[in-house]
Amino acid sequence: MIAVRVEDRAGERASFAVRPGERLLHAGLSAGLGLPYECATGTCGGCKATVTEGEARSLWNAAPGRRVCRRPGEILMCQSAVASETLTLKLPAAFREAREPPSGVRVGRVCGFRHLTPEIGTFSVELDAPIEHAPGQFALISAPGVEGPRAYSMTSAPSSTPRLDFLARLNEAGALTPLLFSGALDGCEVNVLGPLGRATLRSDDDRPFLAIVGGSGIAGMLSIVEAALAAGHFGRHPSRLVFGLRKPNGAFLLDELADAVRRSQGGLRVTVAFSDEPPGPDFAAAFPDLEAAHGLAHDVVRAGVSEIAAERPIVFVAGPPPMVDASMRMLVMEAKVSPAEIRFDRFG
């Protein structure tokens, strides 16, 4: 094991141990440090740090998040391993308060893959021991023969069972999801690192929430909705979820959302926003508990911007980067929500 020292912008110091070849971010989070990150998979650039002593080696030179590494010594902690006998890093921000359950690595087996549409599916991993997670978190799955881990959000509410349920979107050009969607991973042993992610519903959250999610970003929100139902959150705080999809043909998880609306007894309002095609009259007949709209999810929310400014809800945003960025702009510029108040998951 090699010791890594870290200093944040305020001069606070911490250290953790890393194995040769292990990703620095994963080792630091597993040690309970509040390191900065968003995606943990090389996309966002949120885990940037500067090497001030020693050397690190990049595990993925083409990582999209490396666009933020412009100065000598800047690295992505989630895509770098140690390459010297000691390593010292400087963070551009302060350590985050570690509020979520600690991360760790578990071994598990993939089971129960099910197509929801040709491009979206659900699957489970039976772990050797349970992972404690907060609603809205994700985990990194490493499969044999696939270079590097991939991130998937848990759809299930936290429980003490050693089984995690996930949602996945098929990436034809990727290495892992084609295996998953073909059934080739069924029964395969995988490593699971988690939980990760800070866009969570906390037990002391005592306000309504507004969620804007796109596509497979619904995965973590399902977990949040289930946890909120179990805690009676909607009885105290009526909340709203706007779910962005392209077309009615190809929609998924609407039965589950309609069921959640019914169980909330009026406390949860769900609007499905179709960007490319308006919902037909058959939508209302099939899903009387859901509302439907034609447009982008954040534009649907924009219509009630004055209510957001007045109510100050907890705001969740999850989905592809352009959707998350447009939603954040609208929330900050028009609804006057502080960026620090927005809990978001941005993934490609």
Residue that is written with structure tokens 């509020």 in the block: 99
Q: Tell me how far, at minimum, the Cβ of 18 lies from ligand FES, in Å.
A: 15
Rounded distance, CA 347 to CA 169, Å? 11
Interface positions, 16-45, toward ligand FES (CB under 6 A): 37-40, 42-45
* Residue 164: closest CA among 220, 225, 208, 91: 220
Looking at beta carbons only, is 41 or 239 nearer to ligand FES?
A: 41
- In the chain, DSSP assigns E strands to 2-7, 13-18, 48-58, 74-76, 80-90, 104-115, 120-127, 138-142, 150-153, 163-169, 189-196, 209-214, 239-245, 268-274, 291-294, 314-319, 342-346
Looking at beta carbons only, is 194 or 267 nearer to ligand FES?
A: 194
# binding residues, ligand FES (CB under 6 A) = 13
Looking at beta carbons only, is 80 or 124 nearer to ligand FES?
A: 80
80, 59 contact by CB (below 8 A): yes
Quick one: which of 28, 34, 65, 208 contacts ligand FES (CB under 6 A)?
Answer: 65
Rounded distance, CA 197 to CA 180, Å? 23
Q: Tell me how far, at minimum, the Cβ of 138 lies from ligand FES, in Å.
A: 12
Q: Tell me how far, at minimum, the Cβ of 77 lies from ligand FES, in Å.
A: 6
Q: Which amino acid is at 335?
A: A
> In the stretch 70-89, what mask flags binding to ligand FES with x, by CB under 6 A?
------x-x-----------
Q: Does 149 bind ligand FES (CB under 6 A)?
A: no
Q: Which helix (H) or strand (E) holds 333?
A: helix 321-333
Quick one: which of 46, 149, 248, 319 contacts ligand FES (CB under 6 A)?
Answer: 46
Q: Tell me how far, at minimum, the Cβ of 68 lies from ligand FES, in Å.
A: 8
Q: Tell me how far, at minimum, the Cβ of 258 lies from ligand FES, in Å.
A: 34
Rounded distance, CA 311 to CA 321, Å? 26
Looking at beta carbons only, is 45 or 279 nearer to ligand FES?
A: 45
Q: Is 263 exposed, middle or buried (0-12, 13-18, 19+ CB in 10 A)?
A: middle
Binding positions for ligand FES, rule: CB under 6 A: 37-40, 42-47, 65, 76, 78
